[in-house]
A and B are shown apart, each in its own frame.
Chain A
Amino acid sequence: MTTDRQRRLEQAAPWILSVALLVVWQAICTLFEVSDFIFPSPWTIAQALVEYAKPIAGHAWQTFWTTMIGFAIGVAVGLALGVAVGTSRFVYRGLYPLLVAFNAIPKVAFVPILVVWFGIGTVPAVLTAFLISFFPIVVNVATGLATLEPELEDVLRSLGARKSDILLKVGLPRSLPFFFASLKVSITLAFIGTVVSETVASNDGIGYLMMSAGSSMKMPLVFAGLFVIGVMAMAMYELFAVLERRMTGWAHRGAHASG
């Protein structure tokens, strides 16, 4: 069946494209004899990955759990604020403009402040990951709650439902797809937050590794660091995408019918 072949081709597409990209990259580096100090080839990056596997793994682990803690705080705070903003007009009016203004500030600008307060190391990295990742969750959860169909609410209100009933039985389940969509955005943002903080103010983590590798001209190692971050973020993104499909299949029936 052609549709079957099409589907398999679609599934293979990211791999095909990645391999093609690597081949072109390698070809350019080899053909034009680009120096490894300027732009390392995939092959030298792979070599660096193997050669420095141990330190890379250590730093990657540091970056990973730092990000997870920051992200977890971001989810908790984001959910709480999202519910508050989405259910109360008063909070919406009062808090939302402040949140928007806060979100417009580059989070890198916070790192020096956090360093003054908490010293260099894990804490500023966790907090940066948190600060950068909670906003999309707030916006999405609030949107999910605020766009609740009034008829759906009327059905419950005419039964004498309490506000908490409406929130638990209709509001929150209905905003789950919004919530999961925001998790996918937030997890990648959290990695950015951690790495940015590590490059500026840490002696640990992939960010620090790339910084110190760069200053000792080990460009393949810098790129290896980039690669590792990309893989971690992609893996976490996929994890949440799978969770999303499992938890909110009813909202994605078109794209993944009977999946």
Chain B
Amino acid sequence: MTQSSAFVDFRDVALAYEGHADFAVEDISLSIRAGEFVAIVGPSGCGKSTFMKLATGLKPPTKGTVTVAGNRVTGPLKIVGMAFQAPTLLPWRTTLDNVLLPLEIVEPYRATFKRDRAQFADRARALLKTVGLDGYEDKLPYQLSGGMQQRASICRALVHQPQMLLLDEPFGALDAFTREELWCILRDLWAARRFTVILVTHDLREAVFLADTVYVMSRRPGRILARREIELPRPRDLEVTYSDAFSHIVHDLRERIGAIRREPADA
């Protein structure tokens, strides 16, 4: 993989949080192509969320460099959409207004927000429709179920058409059926728009079903232990999760994480 084709590039990145001597993550080197769907899996507390903060520029690396779209990351990026395990919708805003929030902040939409509000609202409504939330635009978050809130949160992450979507265990708090439903919604959104995705998760089936490439991280200090390309043909149907090839990949990844967990903890 050549340097120029990489959309996101981590070079020997390490991060220590303020007041901590040891690194939360270290020796992270990886390249992500534009439009690639990457999943990062690992045991809990392995620095997956730290990785996200580095990729968005919310935290500057202590060592090494992070490059996104050819520019070295020094502050929060504006070409990124984020969604977290908690939907983090603003409870006083309706679904529609929550989804519109990024357009009130990110240029160039910000400048014309007041003038083009109707047009932006149409765009947001269309997006909400693709995730099955039409009819819920004027509801407040507490009137939505957890899965609906998470769908709205993903719409919010995508409304400003970011080049990269960062998902931090977005389906972790949902029941199994809702989760699989949202996998398919995310799969379709990605297939239609082809943004770059970094999905942090501890659900191996989720990672294998959705991603092109899965990275396995070690326990603290988090390192990339393994990289595995998922060669299951696309488009992938939920049926694929019951196939032998799928189970085989999941097993293989499970083994590697099992190996990490068996190592004695050093603290």
B160 is contacted by which of A157, A159, A169, A248 (Cβ under 8 Å)?
A: A159
B140 is contacted by which of A156, A176, A250 (Cβ under 8 Å)?
A: A250
Contact (Cβ within 8 A) A170 B90? yes
Residue of B nearest to A155 (CB): B88
B69 at the interface (CB under 8 A from A): no
A152 at the interface (CB under 8 A from B): yes
Residue of B nearest to A253 (CB): B142
Known: A157-B76, A159-B160, A173-B90. Contact between A151 and B84, CB under 8 A? yes
Question: Which residues from chain B contact A156 at a C-beta distance below 8 Å?
Answer: 101, 105
Contact with B along A127-164 (1 / 0, CB 8 A): 00000000000000000000001011011111111000
B46 at the interface (CB under 8 A from A): no
Question: Which residues from chain B contact A173 at a C-beta distance below 8 Å?
Answer: 90, 92
Question: Which residues from chain B contact A248 at a C-beta distance below 8 Å?
Answer: 92
Task: Give the interface SS of chain B, mostly helix, strand, loop or mixed.
Answer: loop
B82 is contacted by which of A149, A158, A165, A176 (Cβ under 8 Å)?
A: A158
Residue of B nearest to A166 (CB): B105
A246–B106 Cα distance when bound, in Å, is 30
Contact (Cβ within 8 A) B92 A158? no
A251 at the interface (CB under 8 A from B): yes
A174–B75 Cα distance when bound, in Å, is 26
A154–B80 Cα distance when bound, in Å, is 12
Contact with A along B62-106 (1 / 0, CB 8 A): 000000000000011110111010101011100000000110111
- With most chain B CB atoms within 10 A of its CB, the pick from A157, A158, A160, A174 is A158
B105 is contacted by which of A151, A152, A161, A174 (Cβ under 8 Å)?
A: A161
B201 at the interface (CB under 8 A from A): no
- A149 CB, nearest partner CB in chain B, Å: 7
B56 at the interface (CB under 8 A from A): yes
Contact (Cβ within 8 A) A160 B78? yes
Contact with B along A101-124 (1 / 0, CB 8 A): 000000000000000000000000
A174–B77 Cα distance when bound, in Å, is 25
A160 is contacted by which of B77, B88, B142, B166 (Cβ under 8 Å)?
A: B77
Question: Which residues from chain A contact B101 at a C-beta distance below 8 Å?
Answer: 155-156, 169
Q: Count CB-based A-B contacts (< 8 Å).
A: 62
Chain A: number of interface residues, binned into ranges: 20 to 34
Question: Which residues from chain A contact B81 at a C-beta distance below 8 Å?
Answer: 158
Known: A151-B84, A169-B105. Contact between A159 and B92, CB under 8 A? no
Contact (Cβ within 8 A) B106 A155? no
- B58 CB, nearest partner CB in chain A, Å: 6
A160–B82 Cα distance when bound, in Å, is 12
- A118 CB, nearest partner CB in chain B, Å: 42
Question: Which residues from chain B contact A160 at a C-beta distance below 8 Å?
Answer: 75-78, 105-106
Contact with A along B213-233 (1 / 0, CB 8 A): 000000000000000000000
- A187 CB, nearest partner CB in chain B, Å: 23
Which residues 243-258 of A sit at the B interface, judged by CB distance below 8 A? 248, 250-251, 253
Known: A158-B80, A159-B160, A251-B91. Contact between A169 and B104, CB under 8 A? yes
Contact (Cβ within 8 A) A250 B76? no
A154–B156 Cα distance when bound, in Å, is 13
Which residues 127-150 of B sit at the A interface, judged by CB distance below 8 A? 140, 142
Residue of A nearest to B157 (CB): A155
Contact (Cβ within 8 A) A157 B58? yes
A-B contact list, 19 entries, CB within 8 Å: A149-B86, A149-B88, A151-B84, A152-B88, A155-B101, A157-B58, A158-B166, A159-B76, A159-B80, A159-B102, A159-B160, A160-B75, A160-B77, A160-B105, A161-B105, A165-B105, A174-B92, A250-B92, A253-B140
A residues near B (Cβ < 8 Å) are 149, 151-152, 154-161, 165, 169-170, 173-174, 176, 248, 250-251, 253
B residues near A (Cβ < 8 Å) are 56, 58, 75-78, 80-82, 84, 86, 88, 90-92, 101-102, 104-106, 140, 142, 156, 160, 166
Q: What are the 9 tightest A-B residue pairs by CB atom distance, in nearest-first order? A: A160-B78, A250-B92, A158-B82, A151-B88, A159-B105, A161-B105, A158-B56, A250-B91, A157-B76
